[in-house]
Structure formats: C-alpha cells, structure tokens
Structure 1
Amino acid sequence: MNPSRKKIAVVLLLAVACVLPFLSNNYWLDVATLALFYVVLAQGLNVVVGFAGLLDLGYAAFFAVGAYTTGILMTVYQWSFWLTLPVSMVLAAIVGVIIGAPTLRLRSDYLAIVTLGFGEIIRILAINLPITGSASGIYGIPRPSIGGYVLGGQIDFYYLILIIAVLVVVAVNRLGTSRIGRAWMYIREDEDAAEAMGINRIKMKLLAYSIGAVIGSLAGSVFAVKMSAIAPLSFSFTQSIMILLAVVLGGLGSIPGVVLGAVLVIALPELLRSVEDWRYLIFGAALVAMMLFRPQGLWPARYETKRDTKRGETEEATEGGSGNDVKLDSEKCNA
C-alpha cells in the first residue's frame, strides 16, 4: 500500500475508533473495549511469536502478573493505580528474565511445553496464595483517577485502553523495523545462521520475551481496575490460546494483521450470538477453513530489504531510461 494511503487509512480508523462510543450501545462498547484489550495482548505476544519465533502457550501468566500486582498494591497497600503500572511492568520483566534465561535455549515443542507449564504454575499459585485471595480472587479494586476525576464509566475505560493500544502498536511497529526487529526476524528464520552472523540469539530471545511480558502486564493492570475484581479463572490456558489465535489468524509478525485478528476473535462470537447453540461450531469451522485456504493469515507480514528497495529503484530508472531512449530514437527517425 502507498505510504500516503496507509496514513489516510490509519487516520480514518482512529477517527472511527474515537467516535465509536457515541455510535453504539453499552453492550457493543463493552465488546469493543474487550477487543482493544486483546489488541494489546496480541501485540505483546506478536513480539514473542511473530517477531522472534518463540512459541509461548502461557502468555496469560504475564497478564495475571500485571493484574495481581495492581490489585494487591491498590487494595492492601492503598497505592495509586498510576504508581502500580511501572511496578507491574518491571516485575513482569523480572519474571520473564527468570523464566526465560534457563528455558529459551530450548526450541519448538520443548519451549511450548515449558511456557505452558509456567502459565499453569502462575494460575495455581494465584489459587493457593492468601495474598492473591486464593480461589476467590481480589475484590474491591479502586477505580483510577486523573486529578479529581475518577475513571468509572465504560467510555472512560474504552478511551484509556484505546490510548494504550495505540501506544503499544506504535512501539511494536518501531521495534519491528529497527535493528532489533531485524535480528529477531533472522533468529526466527534460522537461529544457527543468525548466530554465525554475530547475533546473540539468547540475549535477543530474552529481550523479546521480556518486552512481551511487559506489554502483557500492562494490559493486566488496566484489566484489574476496569473489572474491580480478578480471579484465577480469568488467566487460564484458554486465554493464552485465544491470544495466540489472534496472532495466527491475523498473520505472524504483521502488526495490522494482529489488530484485525484480535478484533475478529472477540467480535465474531458476538456477531453469531443469534445462533446461540451453533455459534462456536460456526466460529471453529470458519477458523479451520481460514487455516486451510489462507495459512499465512488474513493480513500477512511483508518484509522489504534495502536490496529490494534499491532493485526497485534501479528497475524504475531503467524503465524510465528506456522510455526516453525510445522517444529520442523516434524523434531522430522523424527528423
């Protein structure tokens, strides 16, 4: 897509997102808010799976770390929500390093099993620790406030998570086009070749895993104050699979594709609610069909190297030169 057209499309999309609360009822506004949560979570997992190629089946664990950190600090220690955000993100990064350092040397299925076990460990700890409220969870989490205004309505949280989603998408996009993003891409395609070229694959994997953890914890913190209550059931293995589904459905490594995948994962079951008994069957069949006919995702990532750019410029110059030569030859013939 032409860069100018891409900018226009992004501006139009943001404009629609900004006016959406005034065009929909409370039910669809809540669905849109949940979709934005999944956009943030899916972009965090996209860094891990889409960019670095690390199959993570326990990503909901970092979602839980952020939610429980904010919930505990606000209910037990009476902290402000805005002060809990950096604490939850730093804690998630530390947990990511602790878990990732010994395990990211593994590959493919082995790494998936380890991350799955990590997700279940976090969920079981939340069920059994008294400070997390055990199986009942944490209730009565205060609402955040800006100055003297308390964010308590649906529209308030919609705009809050919309701002966070936009910031996360911009940050992930910048990461993907940076030297770090290119290093992740090389590791994803061929770890041994990347290491032979001087890339520290363990360090880069750990960086991707930690950044994904930070983004997941950020979404978890906002989720805790929006719901005012959290429980271990909200951070189950099913949540990890739904987030991974959004990434795969949209296209691994594709930022706009992951946004589209997250919206569809939340919106499609709701659009099929009129056929209550069959909606998940239809939803599952649609996903199977999509994987069969478009396995690369709805909006696959496109990677362009500098060599491709120079080649395109050379071809354009050559075509332009050929046209001018033909024109000159025709003028000589006419003369």
Structure 2
Amino acid sequence: MQIPSLVVTGSLNMDFVVQVDRLPAPGETTLGGNFQMIPGGKGANQACAAGKLATNGRVRMVGCVGLDPFADHLKASLAAAGVDVSTVRAARQTPTGVALIWVEKSGQNSIVVAPGANAMLAPGDIESAHAAYEGARCALFQLETPLEAVAAAMRAGHKAGALTILDPAPARRLPAELLALVDILTPNESEACILLDRVPTRVTFAEAPEIARALRALGPKAVVLKLGDQGCFYSDDQRELAVQGFTVEVVDTTAAGDTFNAGLAVALAEGFEIPTALRFANAAAALSVTRLGAQASAPSREEVDAFIARSDG
C-alpha cells in the first residue's frame, strides 16, 4: 500500500441536483429546471478535490458505500481524480447514501441527506483500515458519518502523527475529548455559532477573533473560520490573520466548503506556510462556486495556480 500524503475519512453520496428559480417554501410544489446525478458526500467531495489539487496524487479515502450502481459510480469518480479507494468498504445491508439538492439562481442551495451506508461506518472499519493513516501528513474529517467512527479515525490519524483537520459539518455540539484531537478546526459561520451554542449569524472580520478564540478554548489547537466570499480568518496560540477571498460570479455554492478544506489540507501536506495555504484554499473554493455540482466543480491544480497568478498580476 502506497503511503498517502493525505487521508480523508467520511461520507460518500450520490447527489440528485435540481436547478430552481427559488427554493420552495414548506408544503410548496414548484417546477424545477435542469436535473443531474452528481457524485457527492462531504468526505468524497473533499477527497476528490484533494486528488485534483495534489501534485503527488497520494490521496486515500476511508468510508462506506452499499452494493449498488451508485457505489460503483462514486468510487469510479474518486479513482478518476487519482484517489485510492481500496479502503472504502461495501455494506450489504443498506444502500449507498444519497443527497437531494435544490440550487437556485443565486447559487444558494437546500440539501437533504439520506446517509444510507455512511451510517454503517464503524470504529471496527477504522481499525481494519489503520494502515491507511500511517505516514500520512494530513488527515481530513467531517461529520456525515457516526461520531464514534469519526473519533476512532481521528485517534488513528493523531497516533500516526498526521495533522488532523476537522470540518464540523453538518453542525453539532462536539465532545471535548474529540476536539482535543483536532489540530485545525474549520467551521463556517453557522457551524462556529452552533459549536459555541450561539444563534447562527453572519460573522465579520471584526468579530472573527473573539469567535475563533472561543472555539480554540473548546480544545482545537487552531481554528480557521470560513467566511464565505469574505475569505477566512486563522487563529492559533501564536498568531491571527485574515485572508481575503476572491470575487467571482457564483453559480453553485454546494461544495465550496469541501473544496476549501481539500485545498487547505493539500497545501499543508505539501509544506505551504499557513498564509499561503489559506490563500490557496480560498482560490480553490472561489473557482468551485463558478460551476454546478459538488465533485464536478472542484478545480485542478493547474487552474488554481493560474487563477492565483492572474489575481497577483
């Protein structure tokens, strides 16, 4: 088994995406436009984006799918991006996870996820895949799989000496023992507020330092607040910095956060310093929102490097 530079542990879903003029109200039936089936799931989105962004191609996915055509399609999509799927388990008793996504003209979306096989990922699966974490420079996690499996995977990554990055989505309160294993926590505005038991609200750069410090007090060594089109804010025990975002025409925001996390993990695995890694992640996320879909929207390394070069010029 080739030693990976980055391991992603998490969900794999088939996304059913419908474009709409506006998101329907509760109880309302509306006519949609274009429909697509697109490989997704927060874990698979991040692994796919990382595979496209990494220069060495050593990205591995740990997760669970069903025994159905959706599983085959999801694994093929990851493999096409250069991701090793040998540690994606097939569960016989439940179908592959799916997500139902409505995307309106502004690019905003509404998502319902049926976890399916993602809910079957267990600590035993992590133990069986323990070799996947050995030698990895970064290990990336989210919360669309059972929390006990996430915790087991984070312990495996931590034990292997990998930099552990947790994207706390979907948002929920988290136990202190799990947060203590996190090297970098990467919430968006609403996720940060939920972790702090606050009412979700728009966060400005002026408010970001206090929120980031409050999050670090929960246990993670560092925090990256994802602030949408504003950019992001970084905080650890030695420094804090705001990194401006890029202005682009938004088509679909579905996987922007996933692409950001992948970009950050790839950059850090390749030895980038924090300011450069954050700008790289912002650029990758900005490019992703200019396209429809989750994995389909993830840019290549060449596209991100060219985009940054044009912006610097």
Bucket of the pairwise TM-score, normalised by the shorter protein: under 0.3
Which protein has the bigger helix share? 1
Which protein has the bigger strand share? 2
Higher relative contact order (CA 8 A, sep 6+): 1
TM-score (norm 1): 0.25
TM-score (norm 2): 0.26
